[in-house]
């Protein structure tokens, strides 16, 4: 059987390239979030995740917008981008308003409509 010459990058090289591109896209998104927060003058900080199931998430981005609280779990890489925000190690017990993902989406849609 003839051995074929390898053409193009290997699978591991493709994976590494995809990871680098993914980080680039996420980094750009994070910078956009910071720009919007700064331009709008909204309060934003990071807090520890609430509840026992934190997984790989060690911080949560918390934004206090006119439409209500917005929050996202942050990976280690994300935390680097948001290092300029304050970290509240012990937020008040009532800090998290309990909104679900669907409520957060509705708040984002409300904010987006106000931008038009």
Domain ranges within the chain, ordered by starting residue: 11-115
Res. 41: pLDDT tops 70? yes
DSSP string of 24-44?
HHHHHHHHHHHHHHHHHT-EE
Q: What pLDDT, on a 0 to 100 scale, did the predictor assign at position 6?
A: 65
Rounded to two decimals, the pTM is 0.78
User: Tens of pLDDT along 73-102?
Assistant: 898 888 899 999 999 988 887 788 888 999
% residues pLDDT > 90 (the chain): 50
Work out the average pLDDT over 15-25.
81
Query: Would you place residue 52 in the very low, low, confident or very high pLDDT band (cuts 50, 70, 90)?
Result: low
Q: CA distances (Å), 94 to each of 11, 50, 51, 90, 104, in order?
A: 48, 11, 13, 11, 17
CB atoms within 10 A of CB 67: 17
Res. 1: pLDDT tops 60? no
Higher pLDDT, 52 or 2: 52
Q: What pLDDT, on a 0 to 100 scale, did the predictor assign at position 16?
A: 80
Q: What pLDDT, on a 0 to 100 scale, did the predictor assign at position 27?
A: 92
């Amino acid at each position: 059987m003839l051995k074929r010459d390898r053409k193009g990058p290997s699978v591991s090289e493709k994976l590494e390239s995809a990871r680098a591109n993914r980080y680039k896209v996420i980094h750009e998104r994070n910078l956009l979030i910071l720009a919007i927060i700064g331009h709008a003058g909204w309060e934003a900080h990071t807090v520890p995740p609430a509840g026992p199931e934190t997984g790989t998430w060690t911080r949560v981005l918390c934004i206090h917008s006119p439409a209500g609280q917005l929050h996202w779990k942050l990976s280690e890489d994300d935390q680097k981008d948001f290092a300029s925000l304050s970290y509240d190690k012990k937020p008040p017990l009532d800090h998290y308003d309990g909104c679900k993902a669907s409520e957060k989406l509705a708040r984002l849609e409300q904010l987006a409509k106000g931008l038009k």
